[in-house]
Amino acid sequence: MEIEQTDRERGVTVLRLEGRLTMVSAPRLKAVIDQAVESGHPRVVVDLAAVSFMDSSGLGTLIAGLKKARQGDGDVRITGVAQQVATVLALTNLDRVLRAHPTVEAATDGW
């Protein structure tokens, strides 16, 4: 999985993922989110538009990132959710915790 990181103003980091978010790639995403929060960017937007598949490890990583961000007075928001990812979120009822936004700009609105 590829991760493109862009740091923005107001402590916002945008992570654009490409590929499969699985138990193999999830630890790398967790490390990137942790580093962003620890470096003063606790507001993280994860763009999943190019993620073709996500398993429970990927989902767990997003939730762990959310917890880390909230401990740093931030948040994790997701955007670009494909059908497979939306199904995983809905089946686990985590779509209520990780609400999908239509665009990165919409996700950062209000920050």
DSSP assignment string, 20-61? EESTTTHHHHHHHHHHHHHTT--EEEEEEEEEEEE-HHHHHH
| CB half-sphere exposure, 69, CA atoms < 13 A | 25
Q: What is the pLDDT of residue 62?
A: 97
> Within a domain: residue 69?
yes
Q: What is the pLDDT of residue 40?
A: 95
Phi and psi at residue 86, to the nearest 5°: -60, -40
- pLDDT-derived band of residue 110, with 50, 70 and 90 as boundaries? confident
| CB half-sphere exposure, 9, CA atoms < 13 A | 4
Q: What is the pLDDT of residue 111?
A: 84
Structurally, the chain folds into a number of domains equal to 1
CATH number of the domain encompassing residue 11: 3.30.750.24
pLDDT in tens, 19-77: 999 999 999 999 999 999 999 999 999 999 999 999 999 999 999 999 999 999 999 99
> Within a domain: residue 56?
yes
- pLDDT-derived band of residue 14, with 50, 70 and 90 as boundaries? very high
Q: What is the pLDDT of residue 56?
A: 92
What's the pTM value of the predicted model, to 2 decimals?
Answer: 0.94
- Domain range for 26 is 2-104
> Within a domain: residue 111?
no
> Within a domain: residue 75?
yes
- pLDDT-derived band of residue 15, with 50, 70 and 90 as boundaries? very high
